[in-house]
Structure 1
Amino acid sequence: MEIVNAPHQPVREQWLALHREDALLPQLKVVDAHHHLWDRQSGRYLAHEFSQDIQTSGHRIVSSVYVQCRSMLRQDGPDALKPVGEVEFASGVAAMFASGHYGDARGCEAIIGGASLLAGDGLQQVIDVMMQHSGGRLRGMRNPLAWHQDPRVASSPASPPAGLSADADFRRGAACLARNGLPLDVWVYHTQLEEIACLARALPELQIIVDHCGGPIGVGPYAGRRDEVFQQWRGSMMQLAALPNISIKISGFGMTVMGYPFAEAPMPPDSATLAQQWRPWFETILALFGAERCMFASNFPVDKGMFSYGAFWNACKRLAQQASDAERAQLFWRTAATRYRLASLEKINEQQNAAE
C-alpha cells in the first residue's frame, strides 16, 4: 500500500489484526493523554471503538484526555459558542465511561475544548458556558496552529493563518486561559517551535502543552532529510526546555506528516520496530524536559492507520525500559494527572508525592 496524500491514514482493521502482541507490564497505570472521538465520512471512532481498543490491548488504561477535533459542533447559535457542542459531546461520552459499562477506564475524564482564543478577553464568557456544560471536566483549550507554506505539509483539514500565536487577540485569549488555570495545548510543526517559545516567554503564567513531540516534519520538502530535521528540531526543543511552563506529549508518530512508512508494509509494525524508530526523539525529549514534563499519548484514532493501540503502548513501555519507577510513573500517568487535574488520580498523586 502507498501512503495516502492526506492528513490521516485510513484505518484498516483487517490489516491491524495481522499482528497481535501481549501487553508488557499490564498492571502499569496508564493515562491516555491525547485522543479524539468522531463520526465523519473518514470513519467512526466513538465510545464503543475506543473502549474496544483499550480492552483488547491488555493495557491498564485508567483515564483519558479528550482533545478537540471539531466533533459535534453546534449547528446553530453564535459562532463563538459552537465549540460548546464538542464539550457537551465529550462530556456525554465521559458519563458513559463513568457508568462502568465500557470497562474500568475513565474515558474523557478531562476535556480540551476548541473555543477560539481570538475572542481575546471575550473568551471568559465561552469558558464559563463550557464549564457549565462539561460536568466540571473542562481542562484546557486547543486551537489549530499548525501551518506551513508548502501544501504538501498538511495534518488537518483546518488551515490556520501563519503566526497566529503572535496575534494580540490570541494572546489576550491565552492570558484568559491562564487566569482560569487552564493550559493551552498546541499542535505545531518543528518549524514553528520558536513561535511557541515566544508565547511561553510572553505569558509565563500560562501552562503550554506541546503536542506530538513538537511536530518534526518528514514529508514534502523534508522527505528523506530526517537527520537534518532532527538537528533543527533538537535546537528548537532546547529553547522550549528552558521554559518551565512548557510540557511535551510523546505522541503523533502515526501521522502522515511525520513521514514514517509503517502503512506501506504488508504487516503492521510490532512494538519493537516502533520503539527503535522513535527512540532518538524520545531520549532527546526525556533528557531535555525530564519525565515530570513529559507524557505518553496515543493520538487515536489519527495514528491508528499506522499501528494498533496495543503495539503503541508496548512501544512506549519499551522506550521507558531504562527509566526508574518514578520516571515511568510520570511518563505514563502522573504528568498527565497533574497537568490536567484528573480527579480519579489526584489523591494517588498527592499520597505518592507526600511519601517521596
Structure 2
Amino acid sequence: MDTEANTAEGVIDAHHHVWDLSVRDQDWITGPELAPLRRDFALADLEPEARAAGVSATVLVQTIDVPQETPEFLALARDSDLVAGVVGWTDLTSPGVARALAALREGPGGEYLVGIRHQVQGEADPRWLVRPDVLRGLAAVAEAGLVYDLVVRPHQLAAAQEAAQLLPGLTFVLDHVGKPPIATGELRPWAEAVRLLASLPNTVCKLSGMVTEADWDGWSVEDLRPYADTVLDAFGPRRLMFGSDWPVSRLAATYAEVIAAARELTATLHPAERHEVFTRTALRTYGLTVTGSSQADQEAPCA
C-alpha cells in the first residue's frame, strides 16, 4: 500500500509559490527561458493539481525580499483550505527583526507563519549567512520559534553549515537539495558540502527543485537519482521532505510529473520512511496543524 497517499492527512507539499504580477512584479523572471512564468499563479491554479496528486496541505514560500509579501501570504493562508504554513521574509540585518517578526505574528493569519527565508542565492558574498548582523537576525528567528529556509547555491553551503553550527537552536531547512548542477551531472563538491551540513542535527532538506536544475527538455528520473540518493543517505527520511516548487517547476515538468519522480526516487524506502518524506517531516519541522494528522505526526521539531 502506498502509505503517503492513503493516510488521513495525505501528502504535504512543503514548498510552492504564488504571485500576482498586477500586485507586484517578480523582477527575477527575466529572459526568454523564464517567459512561461511571466503570468499570475494563484492557489486556485494549484489546488486541483495538488488534490489530484493526493496533497492535503502545503507550505507557501516567499518569492522576493520585500516586507509586503509576507502579510499578504499570511492572509491568503488564513482564508485557504490548502495552505497550512507560510515561510515569509523579513530583513534579517535590521536591528528591529524581533519586532518585525512579532508584528507578523500579531497580524491577520499570523498563526500560519512557520519560517523565514531570504534569497541568499542572490547575495554576492558567499559568507553572507555568517555576517554578524545576519547571525543576530537568525538568532531572533530561533527565539521566535520559527524555522529558517536556506535557498543557497553549492558555493554557499559552507557558510550555511557554519551558521547552523553557530545556532544549534534554529532548524535550518535546505531548499532544493542545495541546487546542485544536475544538468552537467557533477556531484562534487556539492555532495561533500551537503554531507557536512547534514551532519548537524538541526538541519533538514527538501526533496524539491531538482527538475529545474536538470535539463528542462530531456531530464529523467535517473538523472536526478544520484542527488536524491545523496540527500537520502545524508539526512535520512526523518529529515527529508517533499516539495513541488510549483510553479517554477512548470519550466521542466507538470505537477504530476514532479510528484511521480519523487515517489520513484523513494520507491525503495520502507512505507513508513516514505511517509516521513511525504508527510511527517514537514508536519514535524514546521509544526503544521493539518486536519486528520495524529499527535505522533506533529511531535517536536528536530532542533
Structure having the higher Rg: 1
**Separation in structure 2 between the aligned mates of residue 242 and residue 322 of structure 1, nearest angstrom:** 23
The residue number in structure 2 matching 1:176 is: 140
Which residue pairs with 1:251 in the alignment? 208
Structure 1 position 87, deviation (Å): 2.4
Report how far residue 160 of structure 1 moved.
Answer: 5.3
Spell out the pairing of 1:173-322 with structure 2 (5 A cutoff): 173-217=137-181, 224=184, 226=185, 229-255=186-212, 258=213, 260-263=214-217, 273=220, 275-322=221-268
The one-letter amino acid paired with 1:130 is L
Aligned to 2:16: 35
Which of 72, 77, 82 aligns to 1:89? It is 72
1:254 Cα deviation from its structure 2 partner: 3.2
Secondary structure, aligned partner of 1:111: strand
Deviates more, 1:87-96 or 1:169-178: 87-96
How far apart, in 1, do the equivalents of 2:284 and 2:297 lie?
13
Per-residue Cα deviation, 1:24-74 (whole angstroms, up to 9, x for no partner): 97536210001111022611111211113224xx21111100111138x5x
Per-residue deviation, 1:282: 1.0
Shift of 1:161: 4.2
Equivalent pair of 2:61/2:88 in contact (CA under 8 Å): yes
Q: Does the 8 Å CA contact 2:3/2:274 hold for their aligned counterparts? A: no
User: 1:162 Cα shift?
Assistant: 3.9
Task: Tell me if the contact between 1:254 and 1:302 (Cα under 8 Å) persists in the aligned partners.
Answer: no
Gap runs ≥5 in structure 1:
1-22, 74-82, 99-105, 148-158
Q: The residue matched to 2:282 in structure 1 has which SS?
A: helix
Whichever residue aligns with residue 90 of structure 1, its letter is F
Q: Which residue in 2 is equivalent to 1:4?
A: none
Per-residue displacement from partner, 1:230-252 (whole Å, max 9, x unpaired)? 02111111211210011101111
Mark the CA change 1:352 to 1:66 in structure 2 (over 3 Å): closer, same or farther.
closer
1:341 to 1:33, Cα distance in 2 relative to 1, 3 A: same
Cα deviation digits, residues 98-148 of structure 1 (max 9, x gap): 3xxxxxxx22x101111011114x21110011111234101110011114x
- The residue identity in structure 1 corresponding to 2:120 is L
Structure 1 range deviating more: 87-96 or 135-144: 87-96
Aligned residue-pair number: 280
Is the Cα contact below 8 Å between 1:205 and 1:245 reproduced in 2? yes
SS of 1:119's equivalent in the other structure is: coil
Match of 1:8 in 2: none
Return the alpha-carbon distance in structure 2 between the equivalents of residues 94 and 192 of structure 1: 31
Q: Tell me which of 43, 50, 62 is aligned to 1:47.
A: 43
Change (3 A) 1:311 1:67: same
Secondary structure at the aligned position of 2:59 is classed as strand
Give the drift of 1:297.
0.3
Runs of 4+ in structure 1 over 3 Å off: 23-28, 159-162
Superimposed CA distance per residue, residues 155-181 of structure 1 (whole angstroms, 9 cap, x where no aligned partner):
xxxx55442112111100001111111
Q: Percent identity?
A: 27
Per the alignment, residue 3 of structure 1 pairs with none
Q: Is the 8 A contact 1:254 1:304 kept in 2?
A: no
Contact 1:334/1:349 (8 A) holds in 2: no
Name the CA shift for 1:162/1:239 in 2 (closer, same or farther; >3 Å): closer
User: 2:3 touches 2:271 (CA, 8 Å); kept in 1?
Assistant: no
The one-letter code sitting in structure 2 at the alignment partner of 1:241 is A
For residue 115 of structure 1, the aligned residue among 68, 90, 96 is 90
Tell me if structure 1 keeps the 8 A contact 2:13–2:55: yes
- What does residue 328 of structure 1 align with? 274
Q: How far does residue 306 in structure 1 lie from its aligned partner after superposition? A: 0.7
Per the normalisation by structure 2, the TM-score is 0.85
Contact 2:126 2:156 in 1 (8 A): no
Counterpart secondary structure, 1:348: coil
Gaps of 5+ in 2: 26-37
Q: Distance in 2 between matches of 1:163 and 1:25?
A: 38
In structure 1, distance between residues paired with 2:136 and 2:3? 45
The separation in 1 between residues aligned to 2:202 and 2:110, in whole angstroms, is 27
Quick one: distance in 1 between partners of 2:69 and 2:233? 36
Is contact 1:213-1:250 (8 Å) kept? yes
SS in 2 for 1:97: coil
User: What is the match of residue 33 of structure 2?
Assistant: none
Aligned to 2:34: none
